[in-house]
Amino acid sequence: MNNSNRTIDLANEISKVLALAESGEMDPQTIADTLEGIEGMMEDKFDASMSVIRDFEANKKKCKEEAARLSERSKHWDRQAFNLKKYLLECLRASGRKSFKTATNTFSVKKGSLSLEIVDEDALPDDFVNSQTQIVNEIDKEKIKKILSENLKAIEALQEKGADVPPELLNAIPGAKVVRGEETLSVR
């Protein structure tokens, strides 16, 4: 037996003990005692890891909250700067000047940028209008997913039993497939 206390090594030890149990090389009491000891250490490791995970998740939440707070604070300063610039523009206009120089800055009234506004689309000459016909396909993804998910479960059940999978299950809806994502850890 390995004396490592790493979680993965403990998990591998359980696998080895179970293999020895299947081969009949260990008596049932030794197997039970060994598994009980290893599983006790693994419980401690898993619980400790979960505690660290919860701390990480709490820190992530705090970071998101702080980011939202700082974003709102940033918008506040943007509004303050915008309002002060607007005030200085009003002062320049009131003085009748287009520019004003200080020792460190030059303030100028800048013309507004141009933007296009279509007031009557039907009145525009044809040279300026491109007409298009668009075909929109609406796919019933939920229906397809339901059928293919049921098929995948049936295929997996047959494979677990070692049975052959009928071809009609393999390509139930041509042009679509469901894919099982990576395994994840569920903790309750």
Q: Which amino acid is at 15?
A: S
| Assigned token pair, 131 | 């007409």
DSSP 99: E
Partners of 108 in the β-ladder = 99
pTM over 0.75, yes/no: no
> Where are the chain's structural domains?
7-110, 141-170
pLDDT tens per residue, the chain (188 residues)?
Answer: 556 678 888 888 888 888 888 887 888 888 888 888 888 888 988 999 999 999 999 999 999 999 999 999 999 999 999 999 999 999 999 999 999 999 999 999 998 888 889 999 999 888 889 988 999 889 999 999 999 899 988 988 998 898 888 888 888 888 888 888 887 777 77
Cα–Cα–Cα angle for 110, 111, 116, nearest 5°?
140
Query: How many CA atoms lie less than 13 Å away from 112 in the CB half-sphere?
Result: 4
The Cα 142–Cα 136 span in angstroms is: 18
